[in-house]
Amino acid sequence: MRLDEKDLQILELLQRNCRSTARKIAEEVGSPITTVYAKIKRMERMGLIKGYKAVIDAEKLGIGTTAFILVSFTPGKWGKTATQRDVARKIASFPEVQEVHIITGDWDILLKVKVRDVNELGRLVVDRLRMVEGVEKSLTCVVLATVKETTDLPLKLV
């Protein structure tokens, strides 16, 4: 996927504010609006731009508890043969789960979850997560404070 400097500038501006108009972006990057619009549409078609979302303050909605959960996977624990990817997909279907990563090391899957409080977190882990076929054990780390949380990519590295 070839990106030029203007593409990267456009992506940087969209990461900062996806509601910016093509006209405003064109002014900031010094290109005609038709060029900017065409570049954005091309990057959308390529799947580089996956979508546009509002960033919502979870705490203000009462979903202020964040936790990271490490999950250990054991195939055949329940007498069946769930794969690690099957387990990850099942866990990803839980609405509280924001991220699911298959990882290396002593643990197999890493989750990021957002819930109302530790009681809800406990119900999620004990009553649902540990009941998923293939989940052997879990380790839950509750976030005490968040210093940085972003979806922005470091485009200067591209």
The dihedrals phi and psi of 2, each to the nearest 5 degrees, come to: -90, 125
User: In terms of Cα–Cα distance, which of 50, 51, 42 is closest to 1?
Assistant: 42
Determine the average pLDDT of the residues in 23-45.
97
**Which tens digits make up the pLDDT trace of 88-147?**
999 999 999 999 999 999 999 999 999 999 999 999 999 999 999 999 999 999 999 999
pLDDT of residue 58: 95
Determine the average pLDDT of the residues in 47-61.
95
pLDDT of residue 122: 98
Tell me if the domain spanning 59-142 has CATH number 3.40.1390.30.
no
Q: What is the dihedral of CA 93, 73, 79, 133, to 10 degrees?
A: -20
What is the CB-side half-sphere exposure of residue 124 using CA atoms within 13 A? 26
Name the residue ranges covered by the structural domains of the chain.
5-45, 59-142
Asked if residue 155 lies in contact with residue 10, where contact means CB atoms within 8 angstroms, the answer is no
Determine the average pLDDT of the residues in 56-79.
90
Fold: same for 5-45 and 59-142: no
Instruction: Inform me whether the pLDDT recorded for 80 exceeds 80.
Output: no
Instruction: Inform me whether the pLDDT recorded for 59 exceeds 70.
Output: yes
pLDDT of residue 81: 76
Determine the average pLDDT of the residues in 8-37.
97
The span from the CA of 22 to the CA of 145, in Å, is 37
Tell me which fold the domain 5-45 belongs to.
Answer: Arc Repressor Mutant, subunit A (1.10.10)
Please state, for a pLDDT cut of 70, what percent of the chain lies above it. Answer: 97
